[in-house]
């Protein structure tokens, strides 16, 4: 009934996890009781849980990231204090199996549930505001993405009270993570929580890429986007490219553990190195996906607080895009020592060093932006300067590690651990804190307390150096990573210093908590009345703090680089705001609980899968499916905000701005007038009115039409799907010779069956195209007929494939026979699963057309379905060639 779950899963005998669990449960219970007592549930449900507003979702992401930071940081404190003691005869206070869980959880949490939500949250909140639009491309999907990430975070925390976490390190290398060596549920918790959160991340990347490419204010051409939008684009493209690889890689490990496949096992022809190869193809670009948005945040801050346009905007954009592609070509440097030859190692070593070039370009651009500027040393700027100083040295240790012979000496040592903490803390974490203090007033309408913010910065800055510099030293002396105890007592002083550093960082964290509390209490004194507290340059500062639900009463009219700076200078010089616009009613997406429901189902199903409670897993997945189908039937997708409400809110904003404008000193006015005069009609400086009369096509004309946005988003999603298939293809190609003495492709595959399958699919793609054509002409009868034909041909294909599978398994050639067969079943089965999903989709679509006719929404879905079905055909062409024809002819 309950699978593997028994009372022994609760750690009654281990005081540390037990007490932690009790405290956490008490805190959660207390918060829930407080909410109930105060009667806030209704508000939370309406305004936050079911919200599809990108700003609310962004804030939720950041809150999730900060809460998980506390969890990940307490793991770090445990490890540092333990290592300060565990020297010589002293065994420390953490037993090895517990220590292993802690470092695995620390890494997993810090990357997947701290850095990722914080980065995604900042992008979610800021991108639509900087692009001058009202929301992201797919607001509902945005909510689903967030709640799935939260579901993954929940699952990883449940492992603390029920069962255990993985002891395999944050990437779970096989064969250690295989069932044979890790029989417990720890690795399963790792797999399902990362998998669920990974799906959320992938959807959010699809969403943000589509938003940047298809939804921008009128006049906001690519080269007028703020640099943060560019780095966010680069980062999300990287996520699109790599998360499907991780999904495929972890899915294969899951198949090994649950169904006895042989991808990465030590027997059956499995090859653990393929896991290492695939997981780093995700893992290395991932750090760039995290650091690129941080680079964008630094760029915004440096320019704002130096009161100057960013130096070398175009080189910054090129550098970001170069990093985006190069970062996907260096993954082998994570396993230089694992058996590749000198040629391969040299290639990846050199590629790694080349990345330092665009990164160096960025550093110089920031320095030159500050040069000659009026630098204001506010808290965001302190984090940025701290980053520049620290990141340069951290990056240099990276170039050092990129030299294969050096890596052979220091790999797996504390030197390496020091390196990646050096770059991630200074690059990503400092950037996120900089962005947090920079955009906090925009999100909540009041600034954060200045003094406490500075104190937090200095603690983090010096704490970081104290904690990690000693690790470089003992790393060079031979201290390995992930060690629970060391015999060389001369290392202990370094470990103690490092623990002190962690203690100083703890002070920084406490200052940050205090800053939040004090700022909320003093919010009236810290109020940001104008919406532009830092004298900003991009469009998010042109609206109120916090912005209204619709962001902009009318979409901004962008006439040059630094859109808002140009508008502001013009207003200052003319002593008045541009003429009052005509307000119209605004349609905004309606709230929905679907994201929350999907995540609830995912959490239940994930927990059930960890503990092998099969009925509950099936129930969770079925419930999610039903919820999505019901959601698809929703009639009202939008709510209207009346023009009078829009006008009221915007007039309040204009009044506040006008007051601020009239309070400006005279010299500001003269400066603005002089700047405008010297800029002339150069569109790169402050913009100009002539921009609006640019010939058609020469000027970006605002957000794309909805069906273009939808199908482009789906197109991008399909590309991620194809990348996932490519990981399966690569695995199949590598393992296809590993028959482990079992049947070979020649003995198993029947060419004529495959030919029939192929013809079925080709004709189904043809009828699918005709159905779309009929739908475009609004011919219901023909559309239904062709859709039915598509469905029948698809079903025929699936039936033949299932019979083939059944025959193979009956002959003893099932997926657990050999690595070759595992690869075959995973690849062909994954394609079959797609066809099956397509059939379910087809069924609901046909029903919707019958009931509702050709509404625009249904036409959009049909367009996406067509893309999906045609793409499956393209994948099948690769399958029959690589698997069946190669298999039977070579």
Partner 1 sequence: MTEQPTRPTSPDTAPGEESDSFLSGSAGYIIGLALALTLTALSFWASQSGLLWRPGIPVGLCVLAVAQMGIHLVFFLHLTTGPDNTNNLLALAFGLIIVFLVIAGSLWIMANMSHQMMPMEHVMQMQS
Residue 217 interacting with partner 1 (CB under 8 A): no
* Piece of the chain touching partner 1 by CB under 8 A; list 373-381, 624-632, 700-708, 797-805: 700-708
Residue 694 interacting with partner 1 (CB under 8 A): no
Q: How many CA atoms lie within 13 A of 890 on its CB side?
A: 11
User: Helix, strand, or coil here: 586?
Assistant: strand
Which helix (H) or strand (E) is 641 found in, with range? Answer: strand 638-641
Phi, psi (degrees; rounded to nearest 5) at 683: -65, -15
Residue 751 interacting with partner 1 (CB under 8 A): yes
- Residues in contact with partner 1, shown as a per-residue x/- string from 314 to 333 under the rule CB under 8 A: -----------x--xx-xx-
Give min distance, CB of 330 to partner 1, in A: 10
Give 285 or 470: the residue with its C-beta nearer to partner 1: 285
Give 135 or 691: the residue with its C-beta nearer to partner 1: 135
Give min distance, CB of 438 to partner 1, in A: 26
Beta strand ranges found along 481-592 (DSSP E): 586-589
Residue 139 interacting with partner 1 (CB under 8 A): yes
Q: CB within 8 A of 343, min separation 6: which ones?
A: none
Computed from CA positions of residues 329, 335, 336, 341, in that sequence, does the dihedral angle turn out positive or negative? Answer: negative
As a dihedral over the C-alpha atoms of residue 840, residue 841, residue 844, residue 845, rounded to 10 degrees, the angle is: -150
Positions 277 through 316 that interact with partner 1 (CB under 8 A): 277-278, 281
Residue 702 interacting with partner 1 (CB under 8 A): yes
Give 580 or 856: the residue with its C-beta nearer to partner 1: 856
The residue within the footprint of partner 1, chosen from 156, 227, 424, 727 (CB under 8 A), is: 727
* Piece of the chain touching partner 1 by CB under 8 A; list 62-70, 128-136, 155-163, 293-301: 128-136
The residue within the footprint of partner 1, chosen from 60, 118, 133, 423 (CB under 8 A), is: 133
Positions 450 through 469 that interact with partner 1 (CB under 8 A): none
Residue 863 interacting with partner 1 (CB under 8 A): yes
Residue 830 interacting with partner 1 (CB under 8 A): no
Q: CB within 8 A of 274, min separation 6: which ones?
A: 263, 264, 731, 734, 735
Residue 703 interacting with partner 1 (CB under 8 A): yes
* Piece of the chain touching partner 1 by CB under 8 A; list 273-281, 663-671, 683-691, 833-841: 273-281
Distance CA 295, CA 426 (A): 11
Distance of CA 519 to the CA centre of its chain: 29
Q: CB within 8 A of 285, min separation 6: which ones?
A: 238, 241, 242, 327, 328, 331
* Piece of the chain touching partner 1 by CB under 8 A; list 95-103, 119-127, 134-142, 387-395: 134-142
Phi, psi (degrees; rounded to nearest 5) at 703: -55, 145
Picking from 247, 208, 382, the residue whose alpha carbon sits closest to that of residue 826 is: 247
Give 478 or 769: the residue with its C-beta nearer to partner 1: 769
Give min distance, CB of 337 to partner 1, in A: 12
The burial of 885, by beta-carbon neighbours within 10 Å (0-12 exposed, 13-18 middle, 19 or more buried), is given as middle
Give 79 or 845: the residue with its C-beta nearer to partner 1: 845
Distance CA 122, CA 115 (A): 11
Positions 331 through 350 that interact with partner 1 (CB under 8 A): 331-332, 338-341, 343-344
Give min distance, CB of 734 to partner 1, in A: 5
Distance CA 756, CA 881 (A): 14
* Piece of the chain touching partner 1 by CB under 8 A; list 154-162, 617-625, 707-715, 841-849: 707-715
Give 215 or 471: the residue with its C-beta nearer to partner 1: 215
Residue 787 interacting with partner 1 (CB under 8 A): no
Buried b (16+ CB within 10 A) or exposed e, 754-779: beebbebbebbbbbbebbbebbeeee
Positions 634 through 663 that interact with partner 1 (CB under 8 A): 638
The residue within the footprint of partner 1, chosen from 74, 180, 315, 758 (CB under 8 A), is: 758
Cα-based angle 689, 692, 695 (whole degrees, multiple of 5): 135
Distance CA 501, CA 365 (A): 31
Positions 232 through 251 that interact with partner 1 (CB under 8 A): 237, 241, 245
Distance CA 89, CA 490 (A): 13
- Residues in contact with partner 1, shown as a per-residue x/- string from 530 to 569 under the rule CB under 8 A: ----------------------------------------
Residue 866 interacting with partner 1 (CB under 8 A): yes
The residue within the footprint of partner 1, chosen from 76, 136, 539, 558 (CB under 8 A), is: 136
Give min distance, CB of 667 to partner 1, in A: 42
Give min distance, CB of 341 to partner 1, in A: 5
Contact 571/577 with Cβ under 8 angstroms?
A: yes
Give min distance, CB of 642 to partner 1, in A: 14
Size of the site for partner 1 (CB under 8 A): 91
Give 45 or 715: the residue with its C-beta nearer to partner 1: 715
Query: Max alpha carbon distance in the chain (Å)?
Result: 89
Give 271 or 498: the residue with its C-beta nearer to partner 1: 271
Positions 65 through 104 that interact with partner 1 (CB under 8 A): none
What residues does 413 pair with on adjacent strands? 480
Give 423 or 586: the residue with its C-beta nearer to partner 1: 586
Give min distance, CB of 713 to partner 1, in A: 10
Positions 731 through 750 that interact with partner 1 (CB under 8 A): 731, 733-734
Which helix (H) or strand (E) is 209 found in, with range? Answer: helix 186-214
Residue 273 interacting with partner 1 (CB under 8 A): yes
The residue within the footprint of partner 1, chosen from 166, 723, 808, 821 (CB under 8 A), is: 723
What residues does 446 pair with on adjacent strands? 527
As a dihedral over the C-alpha atoms of residue 353, residue 355, residue 361, residue 362, rounded to 10 degrees, the angle is: -130
* Piece of the chain touching partner 1 by CB under 8 A; list 129-137, 591-599, 662-670, 791-799: 129-137
Other Cβ atoms less than 10 A from the Cβ of 503: the count is 16
Give 625 or 878: the residue with its C-beta nearer to partner 1: 878
Give 6 or 752: the residue with its C-beta nearer to partner 1: 752
What residues does 139 pair with on adjacent strands? none
Give 671 or 773: the residue with its C-beta nearer to partner 1: 773
Distance CA 162, CA 185 (A): 10
Q: CB within 8 A of 11, min separation 6: which ones?
A: 17, 18, 21, 161, 164
Give 196 or 237: the residue with its C-beta nearer to partner 1: 237
Distance CA 708, CA 131 (A): 18
Contact 220/558 with Cβ under 8 angstroms?
A: yes
The residue within the footprint of partner 1, chosen from 44, 578, 759, 833 (CB under 8 A), is: 759
* Piece of the chain touching partner 1 by CB under 8 A; list 558-566, 652-660, 728-736, 788-796: 728-736
Residue 267 interacting with partner 1 (CB under 8 A): no
The burial of 865, by beta-carbon neighbours within 10 Å (0-12 exposed, 13-18 middle, 19 or more buried), is given as buried
Residue 135 interacting with partner 1 (CB under 8 A): yes
Residue 175 interacting with partner 1 (CB under 8 A): no
The residue within the footprint of partner 1, chosen from 292, 471, 549, 716 (CB under 8 A), is: 716
Which helix (H) or strand (E) is 826 found in, with range? Answer: helix 819-852
- Residues in contact with partner 1, shown as a per-residue x/- string from 577 to 596 under the rule CB under 8 A: ---------xxxx-------
Phi, psi (degrees; rounded to nearest 5) at 221: -75, 170
* Piece of the chain touching partner 1 by CB under 8 A; list 12-20, 269-277, 385-393, 573-581: 269-277
Distance CA 553, CA 171 (A): 47
Contact 354/328 with Cβ under 8 angstroms?
A: no
Which helix (H) or strand (E) is 638 found in, with range? Answer: strand 638-641
């Amino acid at each position: 009934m309950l699978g593997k779950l028994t009372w022994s899963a609760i750690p009654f005998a281990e005081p540390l996890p037990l007490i932690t669990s009790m405290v956490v449960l008490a805190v959660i219970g207390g918060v829930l009781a407080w909410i109930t007592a105060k009667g806030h549930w209704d508000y939370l449900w309406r305004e936050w849980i079911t919200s599809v507003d990108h700003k609310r979702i962004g804030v939720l992401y950041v809150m999730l990231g900060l809460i998980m930071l506390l969890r990940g940081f307490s793991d770090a404190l445990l490890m540092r204090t333990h290592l300060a003691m565990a020297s010589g005869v002293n065994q420390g206070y953490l037993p090895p199996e517990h220590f292993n869980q802690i470092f695995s959880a620390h890494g997993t949490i810090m990357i997947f549930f701290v850095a990722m939500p914080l980065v995604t949250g900042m992008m979610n909140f800021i991108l639509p505001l900087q692009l001058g639009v009202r929301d992201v491309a797919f607001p509902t999907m945005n909510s689903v993405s967030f709640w799935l990430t939260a579901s993954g975070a929940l699952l990883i925390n449940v492992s603390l009270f029920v069962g255990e976490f993985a002891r395999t390190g944050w990437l779970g290398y096989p064969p250690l993570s295989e069932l044979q060596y890790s029989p417990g549920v720890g690795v399963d918790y790792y797999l399902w929580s990362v998998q669920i959160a990974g799906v959320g991340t992938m959807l959010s990347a699809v969403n943000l890429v589509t938003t940047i490419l298809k939804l921008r204010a009128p006049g906001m051409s690519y080269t007028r986007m703020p640099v943060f939008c560019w780095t966010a684009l680069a980062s999300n493209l990287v996520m699109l490219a790599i998360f499907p690889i991780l999904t495929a890689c972890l899915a294969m490990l899951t198949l090994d553990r649950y169904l006895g496949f042989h991808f990465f096992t030590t027997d059956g022809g499995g090859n653990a190195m393929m896991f290492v190869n695939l997981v780093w193809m995700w893992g290395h670009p991932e750090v760039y996906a995290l650091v690129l948005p941080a680079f964008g945040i630094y760029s915004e801050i440096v320019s704002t607080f130096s009161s100057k346009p960013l130096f070398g905007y175009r080189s910054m954009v090129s550098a970001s895009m170069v990093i985006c592609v190069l970062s996907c070509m260096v993954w082998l440097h994570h396993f230089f020592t694992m058996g590749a030859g000198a040629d391969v190692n040299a290639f990846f070593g050199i590629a790694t060093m080349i990345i330092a070039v665009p990164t160096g370009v960025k550093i110089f651009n920031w320095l030159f932006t500050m040069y000659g500027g009026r630098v204001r040393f506010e808290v965001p700027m302190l984090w940025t300067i701290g980053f520049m100083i620290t990141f340069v040295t951290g990056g240099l240790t990276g170039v050092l590690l990129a030299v294969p012979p050096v890596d052979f000496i220091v790999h797996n040592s504390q030197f390496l651990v020091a390196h990646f903490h050096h770059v991630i803390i200074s690059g990503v974490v400092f950037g996120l804190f900089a962005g947090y203090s920079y955009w906090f007033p925009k999100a909540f309408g009041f600034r954060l307390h200045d003094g406490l913010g500075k104190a937090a910065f200095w603690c983090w800055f010096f704490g970081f150096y104290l904690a990690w510099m000693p690790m470089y030293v003992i790393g060079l002396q031979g201290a390995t990573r992930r060690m629970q105890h060391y015999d060389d007592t001369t290392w202990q002083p370094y470990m103690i210093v490092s623990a002190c550093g962690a203690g100083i960082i703890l002070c920084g964290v406490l200052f940050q908590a205090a800053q939040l509390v004090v700022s909320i209490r003093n919010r009236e004194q810290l109020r940001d009345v104008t919406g532009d507290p830092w004298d900003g340059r991009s469009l998010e500062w042109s609206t109120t703090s916090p912005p209204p639900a619709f962001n902009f009463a009318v979409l901004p009219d962008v006439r040059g680089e630094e859109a808002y700076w140009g508008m502001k200078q013009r207003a200052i010089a003319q002593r008045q705001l541009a003429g009052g616009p005509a307000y119209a009613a605004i349609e905004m997406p309606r709230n929905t609980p679907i994201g929350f429901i999907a995540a609830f189902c995912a959490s239940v199903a994930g927990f059930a899968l960890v503990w092998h409670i099969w009925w509950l897993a099936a129930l969770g997945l079925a419930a999610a499916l039903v919820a999505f189908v019901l959601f698809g039937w929703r009639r009202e997708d939008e709510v209207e905000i009346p023009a009078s409400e829009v006008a009221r809110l915007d007039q309040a904003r204009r009044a506040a701005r006008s007051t601020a404008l009239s309070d400006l000193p005279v010299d500001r006015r003269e400066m603005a007038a002089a700047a405008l005069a010297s800029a002339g009609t150069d569109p790169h400086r402050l913009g100009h009115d002539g921009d609006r009369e640019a010939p058609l096509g020469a000027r970006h004309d605002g957000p794309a039409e909805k069906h273009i946005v939808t199908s482009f988003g789906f197109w991008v999603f399909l590309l991620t799907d194809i990348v996932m298939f490519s990981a399966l293809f690569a695995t199949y190609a590598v393992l296809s010779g590993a028959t482990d003495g079992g049947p070979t492709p020649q003995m198993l595959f029947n060419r004529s069956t495959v030919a029939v399958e192929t013809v079925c699919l080709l004709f189904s793609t043809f009828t699918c195209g005709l159905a779309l054509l009929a739908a475009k002409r609004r011919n219901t009868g023909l559309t239904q007929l062709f859709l039915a034909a598509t469905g029948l041909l698809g079903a025929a294909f699936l039936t033949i494939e299932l019979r083939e599978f059944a025959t193979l398994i009956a002959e003893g050639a099932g997926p657990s026979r050999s690595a070759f067969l595992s690869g075959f079943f995973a690849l062909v089965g994954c394609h079959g699963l797609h066809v099956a999903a397509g059939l379910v989709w087809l069924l609901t679509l046909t029903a919707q057309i019958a009931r509702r006719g050709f509404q625009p929404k249904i036409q959009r879905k049909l367009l996406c379905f067509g893309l999906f079905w045609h793409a499956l055909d393209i994948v099948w062409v690769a399958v029959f060639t690589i698997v069946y024809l190669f298999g039977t002819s070579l």
